[in-house]
Structure 1
Amino acid sequence: MNKQKDVLIRKYNEADFRTIHELNKQQGWNNLVEKKQETQQAWANSTVAVVAEIDGRVVGCLRGLTDGFISLYICELLVNQDHRKLGIGKKMLRYAHKLYPKTRLELLASDASRSFYEAQSYRPLYGFRKTIVE
């Protein structure tokens, strides 16, 4: 089966959050797991919120914020470990960018995801992060 062809990218709905929460656990994104209600609200209030589906099963997700003209910030991009290297992340990024084609994509990467973004011709930028309690 050609899984790339069978991937459906669609808008997020509230019923998808259970799977997204499990994907966050699988990835070890403990901050999002521990703040489950806030994370669910973030999904509900994001400008861009999509999932990737294969055979009716959510296997990936992308959440982003945009001004619609300059920047589209990808907050989260995650694909189930069993479905990586099938082009699903790339397809979700392309889908989101087509919604706001005038924008540039901005995102954060971890050591584990850096090679994925470099292979897609993203260039590294330097940035900072701090929470209110730090």
Structure 2
Amino acid sequence: MNNIEIKENIIPSKDLVYELYSNVGWIAYTCDMDKLMKAIENSLRVITAWDQDKLVALLRIVGDGYSIIYIQDILILEDYQRMGLGSKMLCLILEDYSDVRQIILATDDTHKTKRFYESNGFRQAKDYNCISYMKFNM
């Protein structure tokens, strides 16, 4: 991971974004690349990781940055997973928004994702005596 450079608020090209989202299987997002690019461009913050000119990770948040942030996307190319990169990028967000009361995300219900987020200090909503609701327009 020594060669990886983390950059702030750099919007990668559409081709690089497509490659990253496809690599991790997030193809529901890639069916409308213009919409995905607008979503990334309008994020509160975008953090990317690069191995020279290769986009290897992207984290983006939405929200007001004062009372709530929502970690919308955190993607890492498969070959770069389990190297601490996701935790490092997440740590930047958690440090910079440490005074924000609610930091929220939704993720797949897998052992891998639960282990990752719990190891980074996240807890399930039920642990705060809360319940979450969502609605998907498919």
Paired residue for 2:4? 7
Aligned partners of 1:87, 1:127: CA distance in 2, in Å? 28
Paired residue for 1:26? 23
Q: 1:50 to 1:81 in 2, by over 3 A?
A: same
Contact residue 68 and residue 102 of structure 1 kept, 8 A: no
Q: Which residue among 63, 80, 83 is the counterpart of 1:83?
A: 80
Superposed counterparts of 1:1-134, under 5 Å: 3=1, 5-103=2-100, 104-110=102-108, 111=110, 112-125=112-125, 126-132=131-137
Aligned partners of 2:137, 2:80: CA distance in 1, in Å? 35
Q: 1:120 to 1:14 in 2, by over 3 A?
A: closer
Deviation at 1:53, TM superposition (A): 1.4
Contact residue 18 and residue 33 of structure 2 kept, 8 A: yes
Moved over 6 A (4+): none
- CA RMSD, Structure 1 to Structure 2 (Å): 1.9
SS at match of 1:113: helix
The answer for unaligned runs of 5 or more in structure 1 is none
Tell me the TM-score normalised to structure 2 length.
Answer: 0.82
Aligned partners of 1:22, 1:96: CA distance in 2, in Å? 24
Deviation at 1:58, TM superposition (A): 1.4
Tell me the TM-score normalised to structure 1 length.
Answer: 0.84
Contact residue 61 and residue 72 of structure 2 kept, 8 A: yes
Q: Percent of pairs identical after alignment?
A: 23
